[in-house]
Every structure is written in C-alpha cells, then in structure tokens.
Amino acid sequence: MTSVEKKSSAPVPAGWTYAPAPESTEIVSLRDRYGLYVGGKWLETAERFTTIAPRDELPLAEVAQASEADVANAVAVARSAFESWSALPGSERAKYLFRIARILQERAREFAVLESLNGGKPIKESRDVDLPLAAAHFFYYAGWADKLEYAFPNRAPRPVGVAGQIIPWNFPLLMLAWKIAPALAGGNTVVLKPAETTPLTALLFCDVVRQAELPPGVVNIVTGDGSTGAALVDADVDKIAFTGSTEVGKAIQRRLAGTGKKLTLELGGKAANIVFDDCALDQAVEGIVNGIYFNQGHVCCAGSRLFVQESIAEPLIEKLKKRMATLRVGDPLDKNTDIGAINSKIQLDKIEELVQAGRDEGAEIYQPPCRLPEKGYWFAPTVFTNVAQSYRIAQEEIFGPVLSVLTFRTPDEAVEKANNTPYGLSAGVWTEKGSRILWMAEHLRAGVVWANTFNRFDPTSPFGGYKESGFGREGGRHGLEPYLAFDA
C-alpha cells in the first residue's frame, strides 16, 4: 500500500477578499443649492441647511428650510392646481403617472446613486429594491386612475383635495412614490415634505415631474425639518399622510382631532420573526439576516425580535453568527456592500444608547469582527441573546442593525410573546406546515405576516399597522381609499 502524503495546507489562498467595486457618482449632477419646488418653479427661502453624505459626513448641497408662510403658499398653489387636475378624465391622469414611472426607470441609476449617497443605504438595495419598487408604484396606480368607480363600486369616489404628505429618511424615494402615486391617481394635488436628512431624491424627482410635463402645482416639494412638517399639518390641507415615529404620529393625531382633515399614520414597529423547529433552517437564517440587516435595520417592519423554538435555538444561533461574519459593512456605493452607513449622527446615538441598555440589562452581545471606516456613521451588525421580554431592546424600536433573540416552546407561547408589544406592523413565520402558517397569521396582531420570507413588498399588496404602528393602508386598492371621498 502506498501512503498518501498529507498536505499541511489547502491549495487555495487563505482568504478571498472582494476588490473594491464602487459605483461612480458621476451620473449625478447636484446643484450647490435647492429652493422649494412650488407651482413648477424653484422658490428661494430665507433659511437654508446643508445636507450631507452619512458615509463621510461631507456636504452635498444646501437645501431650503420652508417657513410656515412658505408652506401656506405651497398649499395655496396646490389648491389652485386642484381644480383643473381633478377635472381631468382618469385616463388622462394615468398618462402622466405612466410617464413618471417610465422616466424613473430610465433614470434609475442616477436615482439609486443619489439615494445611497444622501441616505447611506447600500447601492445594491437602492438599485434592486427602492428604484424598481418606486417605479412599480407609479405603474400600478396609473392603472387605477381611470377605474376608480370599479375599485369602489356604487360609492361615487371623488378626490379629497390637497394632500399634505410627510415622509421619513429610510426609504426616501420609495415613500415619496407610496404617497404621491395613489394621491395623483385619485385626482388630488400634493405638497410633500421629505425628511431633513434625505431631501435630495425628492428634489431630483421634481425634474422627473418637469420632464413628464405634469401641470404646475400638482406636485409640490417643500423641504425643512419637523417645524416645516408641523406647518404642513396645520395648513389648509384636506388630508395628511405621515410615515415616521410613533411620537410625532401621536402629536399629529392630537393636532388634527376635530378638524375634519383625513389622516393616515404609518409608524414604528417591533416585528416578531418566528422560527419553528420544522423550518428550512438555512433559508430561515437568510430571512433573519434580511429581516434585520436590510437597510441597516432602518425599517419600520424590520424583524427585530427573533423568536426561536427552543429545540433549535443553539444550531440556529450558531448558523446565524457564521452568516453575520460574512456581511460586508462599508461604503454604500460599493456594489459588494451589505450594510451601509447609519443615516445620521442622531440615529447612531440612539442605536448606541439602546445597545448599551441591552448590555446593562444583562443580555449577551455578539458582533462579528469588522473594520468600520473612520469617517461617517457606522454600526456593526449585532445580535443579542439571553434577552428577556422586559428588556428595552425587546420592547423599543432600535431602527438599527440590532437583533434581539428570544425563545419559545409552543405556538401559543410564540403568539403571546410576539403580541406582547405596543406595535403591530409586521411579523414573520418560518415553518414547513401550511396549517400552522394560517393559524399564526390569524393570531398575530400585525398588519403584514410573511411566511417563509421577509421584507417583501409589492404595490398591489396593502401595508400598514395595528396599535401604535398606526392606521390606514398604503399599497393596493386599499391605498387609494384614504385619497378619496365618498357620498355613500
């Protein structure tokens, strides 16, 4: 017998590191400064602020800070545009929406780069998720514009009037699309306020509006901070659509009580992602990673509480940690990046505070080794085990790449623990058993329940919450309803 010589090391290099693959920013041309987009014109304001790139803290442009008077003016312009816009046949309004959708597709790369630059999300997400979905929303609602009486038979739908729309910084262009597309399809005009840290794709969208030759005043964009948002709430609008924090959502609801203005609120969440012992484990691990590390965890429906059936907790957490070690944190514009920059210093401070609370309360933390860039705002993917239901990290929305793991033994226990939250936006269930999926979906108090997947969006599917996650639905036929008034 010949003895086979054993090699001391494998004949492959020890590590396969990715070469940098940065997307060029050349496709985006920014102005030094932007005004408010009102009535198809750019208006100057007395005050301005600087918007930066969270990956390196460098300034990108100066942006207008709209005052109460600026907002009142924008709403008045939207109101005067309402008369002729709402009188157009739905089939005519649809043409504009189709045009906007096509232009967004044509200019997708430009928008994706700008979204990642201003907001910090990985380019592969802005390119493959935000942009296709934003265009899809315009396509979808274009299709409804001339069919409103079929969407709501015998109810004589008509537009509400002027919609004030306030959006957050986690999906800037996509939230704009969620808000503007159904509003215009229904025959309303809008004044939209982007979030203060991410105004640039909304301002670039004004150029799409111009290209599409939308009549002036139908879409107006006013930039500014929370005071601009508050001014919009108080202005002469017929409806407010808000996506953001539960705290501001409650303040808006108090403000609007008794005014007769319509309101929809899409607020925070603390979703349960529930993994049963009969699931496809590797698939579940991918879903868990996608559920919490997608968009740095800046996602209202993020699967931030992982509930694992006790019998598989150990192998699952081991697999999860291995997978986390492969995630690449870094430049949002690099095509290989999985986790980009945290959106702002304020958000980073909030994440750090809650993670410290998790440590102090006694949870066990794991972060894979990764080198974070020196400039900019970063947070390593994090998982906490040994978490009790009462810990702040199990109760409060962290809105960062931080997962809290809890365990359960029976489906009843999973439901009870999952529903033990002030929120009710989304949930995930991982099991091979169809009847269990249906039973869980029936018992979970969440607006969206994903089965064997997570963070899936489609313009045809309504999205929205229960309890402190808000009310009203966006997407689907349901998403048209808040923008319509009915006689019957």
Q: Which is nearer to ligand NAI, 122 or 244 (CB)?
A: 244
Q: Which of 164, 217, 244, 303 contacts ligand NAI by CB under 6 A? A: 244
Q: Which of 142, 173, 195, 308 contacts ligand NAI by CB under 6 A? A: 195
Please report whether residue 267 would count as binding ligand NAI according to CB under 6 A: yes
Q: Which is nearer to ligand NAI, 82 or 399 (CB)?
A: 399
Compute the least distance from the CB of residue 71 to ligand NAI, in Å.
11
357: left (phi over 0), alpha (psi -120 to 50) or beta: alpha
Q: How many CB atoms lie within 10 A of CB 226?
A: 14
Compute the least distance from the CB of residue 461 to ligand NAI, in Å.
17
Q: Is 370 a catalytic residue?
A: no
Query: Looking up tokens 């958000």, which residue turns up?
Result: 347
Rule CB under 6 A: which of 402-441 touch ligand NAI? Answer: none
19: left (phi over 0), alpha (psi -120 to 50) or beta: beta
CA distance 381 to 373: 14
Q: Which of 43, 108, 151, 251 contacts ligand NAI by CB under 6 A? A: 251
Residue 283: which of 430, 128, 426 has the closest Cα? Answer: 430
Please report whether residue 81 would count as binding ligand NAI according to CB under 6 A: no
Please report whether residue 61 would count as binding ligand NAI according to CB under 6 A: no
Please report whether residue 363 would count as binding ligand NAI according to CB under 6 A: no
x-or-dash pattern for ligand NAI, window 153-182, by CB under 6 A? -------------xxx-x------------
Q: Which of 196, 334, 338, 474 contacts ligand NAI by CB under 6 A? A: 196
Q: DSSP 3-state assignment of 123?
A: helix
Q: Which is nearer to ligand NAI, 248 or 308 (CB)?
A: 248
Please report whether residue 248 would count as binding ligand NAI according to CB under 6 A: yes
Please report whether residue 365 would count as binding ligand NAI according to CB under 6 A: no
Q: Which is nearer to ligand NAI, 123 or 241 (CB)?
A: 241
Q: Which of 115, 125, 196, 266 is catalytic?
A: 266
CB 387 within 8 A of CB 405: yes
CA distance 407 to 426: 19
Residue 266: which of 132, 457, 86, 404 has the closest Cα? Answer: 457
DSSP string, 208-255: HHHHTTPPTTSEEE---SHHHHHHHHHSS-SEEEEES-HHHHHHHHHH
CA distance 388 to 404: 9
CB 217 within 8 A of CB 78: yes
Instruction: Give the pairing of strands 158-159 and 484-485.
Output: antiparallel
Compute the least distance from the CB of residue 47 to ligand NAI, in Å.
15
Region of 52-60, 239-247, 274-282, 305-313 interacting with ligand NAI (CB under 6 A): 239-247
- Both tokens of 463, joined, read 């999205």
- Give first-to-last CA distance, the chain, whole Å: 92
Q: Is 266 a catalytic residue?
A: yes
Q: Which of 23, 206, 279, 300 is catalytic?
A: 300
Interface ranges with ligand NAI (CB under 6 A): 166-168, 170, 193, 195-196, 225-226, 229-230, 233, 243-245, 248, 251-252, 266-268, 300, 347, 350, 397, 399
The catalytic residues are: 266, 300
